[in-house]
Structure 1
Amino acid sequence: MKTQELLQVLETHKDKALLFEYAPNQLVGANYHITEVKHIAVDSVDCGARTDSWKETIVQLWESPSEKDKTEFMSTYKALGILKKVGSIKPFDMTSEVKFEYGNSLFHTAQLFVNDYEIKNNQLLFKLAVEKTDCKAKEACGVPETVEKTEEVACCAPGGGCC
C-alpha cells in the first residue's frame, strides 16, 4: 500500500476504530500509540551488483504498558490527525510504500507490509504481514526461480560427509 492510499482509506473511514492485525488473528493491543513516522530513502546494491532506490513511510506502533487494560482502540480520525500533522512538518512522498513497525513480547519487532484491509462493524482493520527476504538477482546469481525440495541428511549421520 502506498502512502497516498493509506491516507485516502483513513479519510474515507475516519468514523471507525483503527485496528491492526500483525499475525493471523493477533491484534495490536488497544493501548497502542503512533510513536514515530519515518520517511526513509533506501539506496541499495543487490548481490548481482545492480543498484536500486525507493522510499518508504514507516509508522511505528507501540503498546503503552500503563494502558494495558484499555479496550477502546484509537479512532481513525485521531490517527489521520497525527499523520496530517507529521505531513505538515515533514511532507510525505505519497508514492512511497507504507510499513508499520511493531513488536511485542511474543512477536519480534518487524516492519510489516499492509496486505489488505477490511471494514467490519465499526472498525477499520489493517492486515499486516512480514515480507520474506529474497534474492533480487536470481538470474545473475544462478539461483533457480523455483527451489526444489531436497532430502536433508543429518551432518553427522553415517554417509553425511562432514564427520
Structure 2
Amino acid sequence: MKTSELFHLLKQHEQKPLLFEYAPNLLVGANYHITEVKHLKIDSVDCGAGTDTWNETIIQLWESPEEIGKTEYMQVFKALAILERVGQMKAYDMDAEVKFEYSNANFHTAQLFVTGFTIKNGNLLMKLDVNPTDCKAKETCGVAEPAMESANECAPGGGCC
C-alpha cells in the first residue's frame, strides 16, 4: 500500500476504531500508540551488482504496558491527526510503500506490509504480513525460478499426485 492510499483510506473511515492484524487472527492490543514515523530512502546494491533506490514510510506501533487491558482502540481520526502532524514536520513521499513496525513479547520486531483491509464489526481492520526475503538477481546469479506446474501435469496419471 502506498502512503497516499493509506491517507485516502483513513480519511474515508475517520469515525471508526483502527485495528491491526499482525498475524492471522492476532491483533495489536488496544493499548497501542503510534510512537514513530520513519521516512526512509533505500539505496541498495543486490547480489548481482544491480542498484536500486526507493522510499518507504514506516509507522511504528507500540503497546503501552501501563494500558494493558484497555479495550477501546484508537479512532482513525486520532491516528490520522498524528500522521498529518508528522507530515507538517517532515513531508511524506506519497508514492512510498507504507509499512508498520511492530513487536510484542510473543512476536519479533518486524516491518509488516499492508496486505489489505476490511471493515469488521464497525472497525477498520488493517491486515499486515511479513514479506519474505528474495534474491532480486536470480537471472544474473543463476538462481532457478520455481517451476510452474501446468494443468496437464496434475491430471490423473500425470505423476504429480
TM-score, length-scaled by structure 2 = 0.90
CA distance in 1, matches of 2:95, 2:130: 20
Partner of 2:57: 57
CA distance in 2, matches of 1:32, 1:137: 38
Partner of 2:88: 88
Partner of 1:143: 143
User: 1:102: Cα distance to partner?
Assistant: 0.1
1:97-127 CA-partner distances (Å, limit 9, x unpaired) = 0000000010000000000000122100000
CA distance in 2, matches of 1:61, 1:25: 18
Partner of 1:75: 75
Mapping for residues 1-163 of structure 1, pairs under 5 Å: 1-146=1-146
CA distance in 2, matches of 1:74, 1:147: 45
CA distance in 2, matches of 1:128, 1:37: 17
CA distance in 2, matches of 1:125, 1:59: 16
Partner of 2:155: none
Aligned residue pairs, count: 148
Q: Percent identity?
A: 66
1:31-82 CA-partner distances (Å, limit 9, x unpaired) = 0000000000000000000000000000000000000010000000000000
Letter in 2 for 1:80: L
TM-score, length-scaled by structure 1 = 0.89
CA distance in 1, matches of 2:120, 2:101: 23
Q: What's the RMSD between the two structures over aligned residues? A: 1.1
Tell me, which stretches of 5 or more residues in structure 2 are unaligned? 149-161
Partner of 2:157: none
Partner of 1:152: none
CA distance in 2, matches of 1:5, 1:139: 33
Partner of 2:153: none
User: 1:147: Cα distance to partner?
Assistant: 7.0
